[in-house]
Amino acid sequence: MYLNDFDVLTGAARVQSVSVDDDGRTDVVLDRTCFYPRGGGQDWDTGAIRGAAGEFAVEEVRLDPEGMVHHLGNGPIAVGDEVSLAVDTTRRVMNTRLHSAGHVVDLAVERLGLPWVPGKGAHYPHMSFVEYNAALAPEETEATLVRIQQAARDVVGAGSTNEIRFMPVSEMGDYCRNVPDNIPTNKPARIVLYSDDFGVPCGGTHVRDVSDIGTLTITKIKSKKGVTKVSYAVEGIN
């Protein structure tokens, strides 16, 4: 459900299967879900699944290779139950702001005309960064940090009306400056447009408007062996 809606935090579903994982936690699969499973450098949602028998506490959410979402936790639940879903709003908003901030860093890099190719990223409260296939001389580091931070803050300050689009991977290059060759196949192919000329192939959760990210600070840039790592923080989180 979160793939189609920026703000979905609740919903209704039916329990399809209930099992026990290797750690003794209950593993629940639903026919639909608004819970985000960890992936793409973004952490999973937590929250509650509520039914007639009581409340199932969702402690972890995982996506398997076949595209099934597994809700791991504890509480009374059974196959066939009609349930209501409630994502922990504070955690979702935090993860979404951090994740979207990483894309704004990349947008800032593009606006500056830097020929950097994005690689992996992480968008966690204790560790937020985007890596690029790029070399940066030590004497250029501080000035580049200041330029990226200003460009990123300009993007956030201007705001946006982000848009979700589903499309074949073969068409993403018309909207995205970089289309990885390892886009997951266990979820629908989707891009999020942060501006008319900047789209990102991504299955994570995103802010509807970049102004919702808040103050974004580039905390460090480190370049080594052709990889440049841009670390960042979002006010009130990191």
The verdict on 130 and 49 lying in the same domain is no
The verdict on 212 and 110 lying in the same domain is yes
The verdict on 102 and 67 lying in the same domain is no
pLDDT band, residue 62 (cuts 50/70/90): very high
The verdict on 31 and 113 lying in the same domain is no
Full domain range(s) for residue 72: 10-87
Q: What percent of the chain has pLDDT over 70?
A: 100
Q: How many domains does the chain have?
A: 2
Q: Please give the Cα distance from 199 to 70 (Å, whole number).
A: 29
Domain presence at residue 2: no
The verdict on 126 and 204 lying in the same domain is yes
Pick the last residue of a domain from 27, 58, 87.
87
Model confidence over 200-217: pLDDT tens digits? 999 999 999 999 999 999
Model confidence over 131-167: pLDDT tens digits? 999 999 999 999 999 999 999 999 999 999 999 999 9
Domain presence at residue 158: yes
Q: Is 113 left (phi over 0), alpha (psi -120 to 50) or beta?
A: left
Taking Cα atoms as reference points, which of 234, 210, 40, 198 lies closest to residue 119?
A: 40
Model confidence over 13-48: pLDDT tens digits? 999 999 998 889 999 999 999 999 999 899 999 999
The verdict on 199 and 138 lying in the same domain is yes
CATH at residue 57? 2.40.30.130
Q: What are the CA-CA distances from residue 193 to residues 28, 36, 52, 103, 232 (Å)?
A: 33, 20, 40, 10, 21
The verdict on 74 and 144 lying in the same domain is no
Q: What percent of the chain has pLDDT over 90?
A: 91
Pick the last residue of a domain from 65, 87, 109.
87
pLDDT band, residue 197 (cuts 50/70/90): confident
Pick the last residue of a domain from 87, 116, 146.
87
Q: Is the pLDDT of residue 51 over 80?
A: yes
The verdict on 111 and 157 lying in the same domain is yes
Biggest distance spanned by C-alpha atoms of the chain: 63
Q: Identify the pLDDT of residue 224.
A: 95
The verdict on 99 and 203 lying in the same domain is yes
CATH at residue 164? 3.30.980.10
Query: What average pLDDT does the segment 61-86 reach?
Result: 96
Q: In what order do the strands lie in the sheet with 216-224?
A: 117-124, 127-133, 227-234, 216-224
For the full predicted model, state whether its pTM sits above 0.85: yes
